[in-house]
Amino acid sequence: MTHNLSQCQFLIQKAAAAGAKALFLPEASDYIAPSASETVSLVQPTSTSPFVLGLQKSARKYGLPVNVGIHEPTINGQKVKNTLVWIDEHGALKHRYQKLHLFDVDIPGGPTLKESNSVEKGTEIVPPFPTIVGNVGMLICFDVRNLPPHLSHRMGDCGANIKLIKETQLRFPEPSLALRRQGAHIITYPSAFTVPTGIAHWTALLRARAIETQSYVIAAAQVGQHNEKRTSYGHSMIVSPWGDIVAELGGEKKEEPEIAVAEIDLGKLEKIRREMPLVRRTDVYPEV
């Protein structure tokens, strides 16, 4: 966890130097444990977590908002919450989202991952909130369709998309459509995609979510090997409301963590929405 904090603090400094207005870090940036029991044993409340407190200090020091995926304890202590939090430029933890869709999968010839063994699923979509870069709606990994947790104490590369001016929810379009209806300009998908699913679906899912919601999609992704059983795909990216990839990192672990920088153009977003209106037939099918 100390190593991960050091990497993320380095990225905060790097993002601030690049002129970013916000920094988006991956899912489970604090740690990825090799077993369900260790995942639970390592978790700490945000009020005492050295990782969260360290990020709050750096956010305050550089005046930079940070969106970061972490673990938090559950009430009964039997599992953890996979959450995404927004730390503002003053270092205050202002918003929190708990991952809805958990990654339970057995990939032939690949890893068997059972996130539900150690993670409690969320129960609500958190409304978008205003930030310096636009209204942000938070989802996590498999929410883009559904993505796995990181399974190592050390992050691969803490590759992070920044300057919004940045796997599970990705496979499920409903939450992103709901966030768009509630006013989101930006939808986040911090992730730790497996390599096989990343090669097949990562880019297609992110572009689909951006196009169908006419929103910027920011997906900060873990990259590289966590342990002998688990490697994350990487390829952090920012996608425009038109579906263009406006910034992307690679899929190889580098000596030091990287950032990708892109400008969020809300004027372009509004133009796309105005000229290509998506009028849903809620008289025929339910509103999401």
Residue labelled with tokens 């009028």 = 279
Decide if 27 is catalytic: yes
What is the spatial distance between Cα 35 and Cα 179, in angstroms, rounded to a whole number? 33
How many other CB atoms are found less than 10 A from the CB of residue 144?
31
**Which among 99, 163, 166, 253 is annotated as catalytic?**
99
**Which among 8, 21, 115, 141 is annotated as catalytic?**
141
3-state secondary structure of 251: coil
Helix (DSSP H) and strand (DSSP E) numbers for the chain:
7, 19
**Which among 14, 27, 163, 253 is annotated as catalytic?**
27
Nearest to 97 by CA among 73, 117, 69, 120: 69
List Cα–Cα distances, 29 to 102, 172, 237, 288, in angstroms: 17, 23, 17, 30
Q: List Cβ neighbours of 86 (8 Å cut-off, separation of 6 or more).
A: 65, 66, 67, 93, 94, 95, 96, 129, 131, 136, 138
Decide if 99 is catalytic: yes
How many other CB atoms are found less than 10 A from the CB of residue 280?
12
Q: Supply the DSSP string of 22-90, one letter for each residue.
A: -EE--TT-S---SSHHHHHHH---TTT-HHHHHHHHHHHHHT--EEEEEEEE-SSSSSEEEEEEEE-TT
* Element holding 128 (H helix, E strand): none
Backbone angles phi, psi at 233, to 5 degrees: -70, -35
Q: Show which residues are catalytic.
A: 27, 99, 141
